Amino acid sequence: MKLTIENQEFHLHPSGGLFWVEKSLLIISDVHLGKISHFRKFGAAVPRKAIHKNFILLDRIVADYQPFQICFLGDLFHSELNKEWDLFENWVSKTPAEMVLVAGNHDIIAPKMFDNINISIFQELVIDSFLLTHHPEERKEHFTICGHIHPSIKLKGFGRERIKLPCFFMSNNQMILPAFGQFTGTHALKPKKGDQIYAIVEDSILKV
């Protein structure tokens, strides 16, 4: 789905990524790499093949847009180093886009590890009239693009049907991106008047 924000064109991708056309910038939030291995280490019954799903999704969205730059909006890696870092390092080496990380609360890996694979780390980024940050933060002079919340929307169907869908949650001057990573969970938000909700339904985006 295509949106115009502040006279700029953005594409909402069903994987949860956001592509800024004029900047050829792919924005992805809350991948939480390493989370599956972290939980498996402590006995959670998570299939090992789920580890590779994140990288399949990353390959897919990069192939769709072929961006010049990729910005990870925090919580790229879930916790301390584990074997998924090697998979990520390999993925970075074969992906031609320049990459930056806006640090989130889960990003505790030493900055030198990111330096070694040419990923720069920032606390926030301001590009033209846009603020890119991990935590939601509203500033009058900027439109904020952020993550952290893992937003979803609850929908009611006929009878007692209920469904919760991850979504892009946009208010007057802020968009909260859905979590990109698999096995991340979601947090249901209640929209207020004027909010715009773009739910992810399988391989499509649905404006609610």
Domain boundaries, the chain: 2-150+168-183
- Write the DSSP string, 21-72: TTTTEEEE----BTHHHHHHHTT----TTHHHHHHHHHHHHHHHH--SEEEE
116-141 per-position pLDDT tens digit: 999 999 999 999 999 999 999 988 89
> Distance between CA atoms of 141 and 132, rounded to whole angstroms?
13
53-85 per-position pLDDT tens digit: 889 999 999 999 999 999 999 889 866 667 888
> Is the pLDDT reported for residue 198 higher than 80?
yes
105 pLDDT band, cuts 50/70/90, is: confident
4-14 per-position pLDDT tens digit: 999 999 999 99
**10-24, 88-102, 149-163, 185-199, range with the lowest pLDDT:** 149-163
Per CATH, the architecture of 2-150+168-183 is what? Answer: 4-Layer Sandwich (3.60)
